[in-house]
Amino acid sequence: MKIEENGPETCRISNDKGFVLVRVPVRALGEVDSGRVTFRYTIGGFVGRESNWPPGAASETALSFRVPRELFRERERFTVEVLRTDARGACSTLWTSRREVRWVKGTPLLEPLPDAGPVE
């Protein structure tokens, strides 16, 4: 299974103003031979909870995250990872995207970092 970004990510502040909602559109190519596929985010030293890949291994989906607003600080590093855990419990990274947080006129944004890109 190979993962690639499928369009620009979006960020917006939640209705209750306590979270930043992030969506990252991705495309899955191929199938997972076996094991479990999950995804998560990290921001600064905080690691978000792992979520299961959508059922049916849809080829196009959006990874969605609800990030506490107090963690979404200017210049903080935001990383998304798609992970595969095999039957023996060994974990490997299928895809990683690294961004830097920016705020423009009260609107959250994510800008790509030079080292961002797929894991080979």
pLDDT of residue 72: 97
Query: CA distances (Å), 115 to each of 13, 91, 99, 119, in order?
Result: 27, 22, 9, 11
Residue 119 has pLDDT above 80, yes or no: no
pLDDT of residue 117: 47
Residue 7 has pLDDT above 80, yes or no: yes
Residue written as token pair 């023996």: 88
The pLDDT tens digits of the residues spanning 89-117 come to: 899 999 999 999 999 999 999 998 876 44
Residues 6, 19, 85, CA angle at the centre, nearest 5°? Answer: 50
The pLDDT tens digits of the residues spanning 30-65 come to: 776 677 899 999 999 999 999 998 876 558 889 999
What span, in angstroms and rounded, lies between the C-alpha atoms of 51 and 108?
A: 23
Q: Which residue has the higher pLDDT, 88 or 66?
A: 66
Name the CATH architecture for the domain at 2-110.
Answer: Sandwich (2.60)
Which pTM was predicted? 0.86
